[in-house]
Amino acid sequence: MAHVAIRMKLQDNGLALQEELALRNELADRIEDAGIGSVIGSGSGRGEMDIGVELANATMGVAAILEIAEELGIAEIEIDQED
């Protein structure tokens, strides 16, 4: 299993807006619904939101997450693999 951290920029450096939280939650739901991985946590602060995910296959999982993010219109996203 590979663990990845997905980070998304917020519109503002403060707390996430309801719309931003809804988008993060939609991304997390779609990751799990598609069987890409298991969401193990999420948070927000310091101008960004994050989701922690355990993936069975890091290469395929990251590509699938980026595709879903694009479908949802999430422009600024970073995915870091944590060993």
Q: What is the pTM of this model?
A: 0.90
**Do the strands 37-45 and 2-9 form a parallel or antiparallel pair, or are they unpaired?**
unpaired
Residue 83 has pLDDT above 70, yes or no: no
Can you give the CATH number for the domain in which 26 is found?
3.30.70.100
Q: What is the pLDDT of residue 16?
A: 81
How far, in Å, CA of 58 to CA of 1, rounded? 8
Q: What's the total number of domains in the chain?
A: 1
Residue 12 has pLDDT above 90, yes or no: no
Write a three-state SS string for 27-77. Answer: HHHHHHHCCCEEEEEEEEECCEEEEEEEECCHHHHHHHHHHHHHHHCCCCE
Residue 21 has pLDDT above 70, yes or no: yes
How far, in Å, CA of 30 to CA of 21, rounded? 14
Q: What is the pLDDT of residue 1?
A: 85
Percentage of the chain exceeding pLDDT 70? 98
Q: What is the pLDDT of residue 38?
A: 97
Instruction: Print the domain residue range for 72.
Output: 2-82
